[in-house]
């Protein structure tokens, strides 16, 4: 296959996963972020890279956002929100983060394949992305030509970008109003 053929298939896969996300769960996710005093973001591996991008966009919006595990991340408190990206919902470190957040009275939002996972059972909001992953017992309702969990990881990143756009609309913001917080020490 050539690049265009692969691109056509990948875009169809992404369209399938993104349009299958439950609209009520997406609204609840955005509402939870909007109401939180501080947003803490956690994920492992490629999901961790995706959620770091989300934390950055929240910062661009003026929302206090942090990446769990970074040296300058403060403690989570009662009105904090922990966003976890985990295909399996069973990654031990992320299960521990969710348990600690709940212990502190914070809320948890999970983006996952596995809605029956340990983290899903603790979460206040679960956004299901129906994609295959070798790490999840639940495989989603689509087969992918992409390796490993690529479809999930791409879908969660795009979903979080869509959530940012929903927040921007809710808060009457534009890219121009956000750009003032863009890094200037690059």
Could you give the count of Cα atoms lying within 13 Å of 11 in the half-sphere of its Cβ? 6
Dihedral sign of CA atoms 60, 126, 112, 169 in order = negative
Q: Which residues, other chains included, contact 6 with Cβ-Cβ below 8 Å and sequence gap of 6+?
A: 145
Q: What is the 3-state secondary structure (H, E, C) of 129-140?
A: CCCCCCCCCCCC
Closest to 163 (Cα-Cα) out of 28, 45, 44: 28
Q: Assign residue 63 a region: left if phi > 0, alpha if psi is -120 to 50, beta otherwise? A: beta
Q: Which residues, other chains included, contact 19 with Cβ-Cβ below 8 Å and sequence gap of 6+?
A: none
Catalytic residue among 13, 38, 153, 156: 153
Does the active-site annotation cover 169? no
Catalytic residues: 153
């Amino acid at each position: 296959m050539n690049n265009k053929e692969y691109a056509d298939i990948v875009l169809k896969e992404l369209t399938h996963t993104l349009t299958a996300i439950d609209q009520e769960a997406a609204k609840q996710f955005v509402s939870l972020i909007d109401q939180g005093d501080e947003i803490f973001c956690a994920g492992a591996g490629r999901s961790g890279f995706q959620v770091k991008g989300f934390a950055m966009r929240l910062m661009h919006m003026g929302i206090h956002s942090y990446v769990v595990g970074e040296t300058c991340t403060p403690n989570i408190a009662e009105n904090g929100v922990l966003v976890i990206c985990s295909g399996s919902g069973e990654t031990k470190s992320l299960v521990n983060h969710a348990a600690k957040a709940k212990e502190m009275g914070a809320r948890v939002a999970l983006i996952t394949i596995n809605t029956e996972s340990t983290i899903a059972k603790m979460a206040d909001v679960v956004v299901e992305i129906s994609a295959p992953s070798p790490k999840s017992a639940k495989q989603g309702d689509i087969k992918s030509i992409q390796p490993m969990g690529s479809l999930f990881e791409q879908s969660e990143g795009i979903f979080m970008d869509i959530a940012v756009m929903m927040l921007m609309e809710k808060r009457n913001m534009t890219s121009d109003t956000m750009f003032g917080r863009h890094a200037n020490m690059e």
